Amino acid sequence: MSNRAQFVTKMGVIAATVGSAVGLGNIWRFPYEAGQHGGGAFLIVYLLCVFLLGIPVMIAEFVIGRSTHSNALTALQKLKPGSSLSKVSYIGIVASLMILSFYSVVAGWIMEYLYQAVTGGLSGHTSEEYATLFSTFTVNPWRSVMWTLIFLLANFMVLRRGIEKGIERISNIMMPVLFVMLLVFCVNSLFMPQAKKGLDFLFNPDFSQITPKVMLGALGQAFFSLSLGLTCLLTYASYFSDKTPLVRSATVVALLDTLVAILSGIIIFPAVFSFDMEPAAGPKLVFQILPEIFQQLPGGYLWSVAFFLLLFFASITSTISMSEISITYFVEAHKMSRSRATGLNTVIAMTFGTLCALSFGVLSDFKVFGMTLFELFDYVSSNIMLPIGGVMLSVFVGWIVDKKVVEEQLTDYGARKITLMRPIRFCIRYVAPLCISLIFLYGLGVP
Ligand code: PHE
């Protein structure tokens, strides 16, 4: 591994992995999914998915990545030559390109809102006007496509100039600031007139609402939010040093990511009920509510500018990590130069991203299985491809990789005693593959 870079400090490992995990998935997708799937019922299944399935799959990805210090395809082949499970890397490549495409549309919305915030367009409106602001903007074919392309161009520049490290350094400062801002917004939301109703919605589960569909939604959200199942964290782990505490890092990343999602819920739902909005409003939920929240805060102008700027950074650290999957593949398997590979990744995402952006306007009637292209890309990648990837990765580590290699990784080459060794292995071998498969099949209505 001589000429491969390594994360030197413990902070570096956690920060880059958290940078990948924390993003629009927590702040935009979590509240809208929870809102559509019954609030508390969703949260409870979500938490179970994160801790019983997500952490074991994350540890599995870390084991494969660090034991081989290679990209996904090579890593799986190194550990078990000829294994058909190494096809999981193709799922990762396709899923990462699909996610990049629709994610960039939402990141483009963030840029539009940042622009609106800076130019004063986000203040002094009524609720109806904020709703119209979002719908006229997303329906407008040029504007949302323009921002999608601008965002992907920014992503391209960062990757092309190899300044990911710089971005990561900036975001290491930005992330804690974002976190503190979320705390402030939380306190603000707790004082809203309908705060109790909002918190009840999120934390008081109505168990009768736990349906197979809700379970699949929560599973998909857990994997999406933790960047799991598409070998993204496997690739990051290939840069970990031998001293990185694997099990603890996975736990810390999952805890932080989940905390950010819950904070986002505590900010959004009290506001949803106080402003008399619909929790099941879908993707537009946070975009309609945030401007209202900023409007109420003293110094709302500054809060809104700072918040959308930080969210932009949180998004780009996530898109960098998902782009890396296909770029590494193009470079290593097709012998492309890095700049060509980055270009190809961007062109693919721009093409599909444009179609996803248009699916809120001119293409809104174009539906496949009753979903617009944006919805289809989101659903297929999060709820189908990531869980399948998760099953394959946990089966690979649980059943195929030599037990000694796994134990060596879990103990960080013997440096640490892991008290939960057996339960962790049990989850990787049995719980994760079985439960993910069951939720997946039930959710799709197979039996
Ligand atoms: N986890 C990221 C988020 O929550 C999204 C992501 C998914 C990033 C898959 C990389 C891979 O925003």
Nearest CA to ligand 1 atom 6: 227
- Domains of the chain, CATH where assigned: 10-443 (1.20.1740.10)
Residue to mutate, 20, 101, 104, 110, ligand 1, most ligand atoms under 8 Å from C-beta: 20
Query: Which has more confidence, 124 or 384?
Result: 384
Tally of CA atoms within 13 A in the half-sphere of 385 that contains its CB: 24
- C-alpha distance from residue 186 to each of 152, 193, 268, 409 (Å): 31, 14, 9, 39
Cα–Cα dist 174/434, whole Å:
38
Q: What is the pLDDT of residue 170?
A: 76
Q: What is the pLDDT of residue 128?
A: 87
Mean pLDDT confidence for 278-290 = 94
Q: Is the pLDDT of residue 192 over 90?
A: yes
Cα–Cα dist 266/261, whole Å:
9
Cα–Cα dist 175/106, whole Å:
19
Cβ contact 92:325 at 8 Å: yes
Q: Is the pLDDT of residue 3 over 60?
A: no
Max distance between CA atoms of the chain, in angstroms, equals 63
Q: Identify the CA nearest to 314 among candidates 429, 209, 173.
A: 173
Pick the atom of ligand 1 nearest to 26's CA. Answer: 4
Could you tell me if residue 367 is left (phi over 0), alpha (psi between -120 and 50 degrees) or otherwise beta? beta
- Cα angle 49, 50, 52; round to 5: 65
**Which tokens go with 31?**
């509240």
Q: What is the pLDDT of residue 291?
A: 93
Q: What is the pLDDT of residue 163?
A: 62
- Whole-number Å distance, alpha carbon 389 to ligand 1 midpoint, is 14
- Whole-number Å distance, alpha carbon 85 to ligand 1 midpoint, is 23
- Whole-number Å distance, alpha carbon 256 to ligand 1 midpoint, is 14
- C-alpha distance from residue 366 to each of 98, 152, 260, 320, 375 (Å): 18, 24, 34, 30, 11
pTM, full prediction: 0.95
Mean pLDDT confidence for 82-104 = 96
Beta bridge partners of 295: none
Ligand 1 first shell, C-beta below 6 A: 20-21, 23-26, 99, 224-225, 227, 230, 232, 318, 321-322
pLDDT 10s digits, 334-364:
999 999 999 999 999 999 999 999 999 999 9
Cα–Cα dist 153/105, whole Å:
12
Cα–Cα dist 328/157, whole Å:
16
**Which tokens go with 347?**
């062109």
Q: Is the pLDDT of residue 16 over 50?
A: yes
Q: What is the pLDDT of residue 2?
A: 38
Nearest CA to ligand 1 atom 9: 227
